[in-house]
Amino acid sequence: MTLKVALAAVVCLVGWAYVAIIKPPPAKVCGTPGGPPVTSPRVRLSDGRHLAYKEEGVPKENAKYKIITMHGYASSKEFNLIFSQKLIDDLQIYLLSFDRAGYGDSDPNPKRSVKSEAFDIQELADILKIGSKFYVIGVSMGGYSAWSCLKYIPHRLSGAALVVPVVNFWWPSVPTSLYKETLGSLTFQDQLAIRVSHYAPWLYYWWLTQKWFPTFSIGQPNSPLFSYSDHEAFKNMLSIIGSKKLTNDKARQQGDYESLVRDMITGYGNWEFDPTEIANPFPNNEGSVHIWQGFDDKIIPYQLNRHISEKLPWVRYHEIPDSGHLLAFKGNNSDVILQELVLG
Ligand SMILES: *[C@@H]1O[C@H](CO)[C@@H](O)[C@H](O)[C@H]1NC(C)=O
């Protein structure tokens, strides 16, 4: 009897804890009552979701190169790579950026996966009629969107650049020793957050938002993420973007669950494929694929991107010494990345 009562009490407690603490609040979907207003142009995808986008550079009708950029974690189409106007004009580049599902003004995708990214990008490109082929540049967490394109829509690509792309410690091709070495090289708080997102995705919203233990460092003030060599890049980024824009960014306006949490549990979850299985998208050298990695990156250990590049001889691997996760904001690196992609 006592056992039954105790058991019932435990069940009630767990139920209460789930509803009160662990269950994420509902999303504040853009354009719905109680949600933020829609302030960007959007396309409607075949499953009814909207994707918000931003077009820059020369008009697509006149462009020589069409490029779609995919932003990182806790980010949006407003806060992406920064290219010089001169390079855009000289090379006649059309740039298309979009809020990945659940970020900014784009509807959440409860079925978000690594795979769904490629098809979001393909549909966006087709609705905007940018042509049969385009380049993609994925930054950090947006790296999984770029891998998705290489896996599922290689025939649509003119080339791809993966800039400080996310690595998944549970890719089957990663040897145990490398898994231990690389995951162990992160700060303890980031290791823990990444493990929770992988092994207990249902708990991750609580883990991210609780105040008892240090949680995932990106998106937190004073993140230990940035290495010493990133300080110059960080200042450079602030001076171009402006710190006001950084703090007022609408990336997370629909709630942390649909943006940060879904992104994290997708990037560090179990993928539908391992990047080392991907076939060369350009067997006749009609395009190129680049990985840009900082040797000092404190969140994306260089050893894993180096490992993937060694397995994929068609990847051009650029490992930059004295650079961390913000390498794209150092000096003219963004321009170098862009120029290598289209001319290299
Ligand atoms: C970047 O800067 C270097 C050194 O100043 C210069 O040689 C190079 O041409 C620049 N590249 C681009 C694409 O702007």
pLDDT digits (tens, 9 = 90+) for 36-62: 999 999 999 999 999 999 999 999 999
CA angle in degrees (0–180, nearest 5) for 198-100-235: 90
Residue pair 262/190 in contact by the 8 Å Cβ criterion: no
Distance (Å, rounded) from C-alpha 321 to C-alpha 223? 21
pLDDT at position 232, please?
75
Give the three-class secondary structure for 277. helix
Residue count of the chain: 344
pLDDT digits (tens, 9 = 90+) for 137-180: 999 999 999 999 999 999 999 999 999 999 999 999 999 999 99
Residue of the CA atom closest to atom 6 of ligand 1: 332
Q: pTM (2 decimals)?
A: 0.93
- For residue 325, the CA-to-ligand 1 centroid distance in Å is 20
66 against 344, higher pLDDT: 66
106 against 8, higher pLDDT: 106
Residue 292 token pair: 């840009």
Which ligand 1 atom sits closest to the C-alpha of 339? Answer: 13
- For residue 174, the CA-to-ligand 1 centroid distance in Å is 35
Element (H, E) at 163: strand 157-163
Which ligand 1 atom sits closest to the C-alpha of 335? Answer: 13
- For residue 332, the CA-to-ligand 1 centroid distance in Å is 6
Element (H, E) at 69: strand 65-70
pLDDT at position 63, please?
98
Q: What angle do helix axes 176-184 and 188-199 make, rounded to 10 degrees?
A: 130
Residue 274 has pLDDT above 80, yes or no: yes
Element (H, E) at 157: strand 157-163
- Of 341, 289, 335, the closest CA to residue 82 belongs to 335
